[in-house]
Amino acid sequence: MTCYVDELREAKRSPRWPYNLVSHLACDSTAELDAFAESLGLLTPNWRQKSGTPHEHYDLNKPRWKAAIAAGAKRLNAREMSAFMSAKKV
């Protein structure tokens, strides 16, 4: 299983996202993405964004970003994450 996180960046705060920073979690497949997200405490696939597309991902706050890295997610910069998602087959 290979999962990736991109760099933390400032986020627009809203009732749905009350955090200052955001990162994206993406994996090679939906099954891997959901399993990895669940291991980070993201307990519902309803939180998966852009489902069924090459750009499907979960948003991560800073604590979950750190947990993802500790659990083995590979760090990518924003350009690398965009390239990964664009090349991904669904």
Which residue range(s) make up the domain with 37?
A: 3-11+29-87
CB-CB contact of 42 with 78 (8 Å)? no
> By three-state DSSP, how is residue 80 classified?
helix
Domain annotation covers residue 20: no
CB-CB contact of 34 with 48 (8 Å)? yes
Q: One digit per residue, pLDDT tens: the chain, 90 residues?
A: 689 999 998 877 666 666 688 899 999 999 999 999 999 998 777 789 999 999 999 999 999 999 999 999 999 999 999 999 999 876
What does the pLDDT read at residue 78? 92
Domain annotation covers residue 69: yes
What does the pLDDT read at residue 75? 97
Number of domains in the chain: 1
Its pTM stands at 0.87
What does the pLDDT read at residue 71? 96
DSSP sequence for 26-75: EESSHHHHHHHHHHTT---GGG-BSTTSTT-BEEE-HHHHHHHHHTTPEE
Domain annotation covers residue 22: no
**What is the spatial distance between Cα 24 and Cα 22, in angstroms, rounded to a whole number?**
7
